[in-house]
Structure 1
Amino acid sequence: MTPLKPKVLFFDVNETLLDLSTMKKQIGEALGGKEELLPLWFTTMLQYSLVVSASGTYHSFGHIGAATLQMVAANHNISISENEARNIVTDSMQNLRPHHEVKDALVDLKKAGYQLVAFTNSSQDGLKNQFKNVGLTDYFDDMLSVEPTGKFKPFTDTYLWGAKQMDVKPEDCMLIAAHGWDVAGALWAGWRAAFVNRPGQQRFPLAPETEIVETDLNKIASILAAY
């Protein structure tokens, strides 16, 4: 039996749509040429975004990224000022290019009748600038930052808020993401999900079963177009 189409497809942005290769180089330069530290920094940024949310406070994702960049740098005897860290993070995140298959996949999904929404932990202004810089804005029906919720994904509240913004029920939403933690959060919030198995990424084994698992967005788009 062919599955029913989700009413709205929500896309994570960083790493799912946008390639982190240029960020790896810039963050690596800031950390003394150690490009291999990018995953550690990114994971630390996610960890402290959850610490901030769980503590009932809020700082922008970019500022958390800068603070954790300082932390990782300090552990490697590198001193980076707050302003320097914020400039490095902002510059690196604003100049990410889409993965090679992204635009074609988005066109195919639009042709298949889907409503497409970008859904990110980054700030609304940051998201708009990212998409403007690489020509992605017109591919989406809406662009949502979790900023108004005061919490970051994968808190359940963020997914329920996203569904409400698009005036659909959670079960009518599908998250498309390259991060196991994001897919797990969406599934536990009652959403459907597709996992983009980018290099170095894995699903969380304790999460509910993911509906679609493929290595790139073109393959996911082909499956969804047949729904």
Structure 2
Amino acid sequence: MTIRPKVLFFDVNEILLDLTSIKPIIANSLNGNQELLTIWFTTMLQYSLVTSASGQYFSFSDIGAATLQMIALNNGIVISELEAKTTITNAMQSLPAHPDVKPALTALKNNNYKLVAFTNSSKKGVKNQLENANLSLYFADVLSVEGVKKFKPFTDSYAWASKKIGIKPTESMLIAAHGWDVAGALWANWRAAFISRPGQQLYPLAKKPEFVKPDLLALSKALIKLT
């Protein structure tokens, strides 16, 4: 397609914010075992889907804390609920932006794109994240799935987000660094762009996104060319 999407929806963690700094914080609660970080993050995503598939809703941070306790117990480590929640909150609230983020968002905004943050995190949590990373000024709106109480990549979440902003799914474009998020958006009849952050891959069984770029600056240049 050569037509500009009406709204660019940005996932937040990984695509905008660099998760590198959470590694020592989470690892410290797991007796320094950084190899458990990937297992914890994957388990957190798994149980967010289990929660939505079962018609339930808990905040992403609560699911993160619960799965941190699960991973810890599997490795003979006991973490209290309070300790787990405090660890997750401290880890996620002060993430820095990737170096390419501010120049790319500035270019897109200066070229009349409407930018919306769209995340599985709570609205309060993501607002704190964006403020702490000095990114709030770029976004016309901030959407959290707590408004629909279904986590991405459930189709209902994307449908709710486009309706909330007042546009059609086909006028919406998700920009993300997670293959599962891009796949969910495409299956929900959105457009999508994938940024190949280190360690991230597209899901081979899903549709191909419109753009696959190494960073947001490269994507912003391609988007600005659309008419």
Give the TM-score band, short-chain normalised. over 0.9
Shift of 1:36: 2.5
Segments of 5+ residues of structure 1 without an aligned counterpart are none
Offset from partner CA, 1:78-121 (integer Å, 9 cap, x none): 11000000000011000100001100000011112110000000
Segments of 5+ residues of structure 2 without an aligned counterpart are none
1:176 counterpart SS class? strand
Shift of 1:5: 0.3
2:192 counterpart SS class? strand
Shift of 1:125: 0.4
The equivalent of 1:90 in structure 2 is 89
Shift of 1:179: 0.2
CA distance in 1, matches of 2:37, 2:23: 6
Offset from partner CA, 1:159-218 (integer Å, 9 cap, x none): 000000110000000000000000000000000000010010000001011110011110
Aligned residue identity for 2:64? G
Aligned residue identity for 2:204? P
CA distance in 1, matches of 2:23, 2:176: 19
The equivalent of 1:119 in structure 2 is 118
The equivalent of 1:192 in structure 2 is 191
Shift of 1:133: 1.2
CA distance in 2, matches of 1:170, 1:211: 15
RMSD, aligned CA: 0.8
2:13 counterpart SS class? coil
Q: How many residue pairs end up in the alignment?
A: 226
CA distance in 2, matches of 1:123, 1:30: 23
**TM-score normalised by the chain length of structure 2:** 0.98
Trace 1:1-227 onto structure 2 (pairs within 5 A).
3-227=2-226
Aligned residue identity for 1:138? L
**TM-score normalised by the chain length of structure 1:** 0.98
CA distance in 1, matches of 2:215, 2:158: 23
1:117 counterpart SS class? strand
Shift of 1:134: 1.5
Aligned residue identity for 2:150? K
Aligned residue identity for 2:179? G
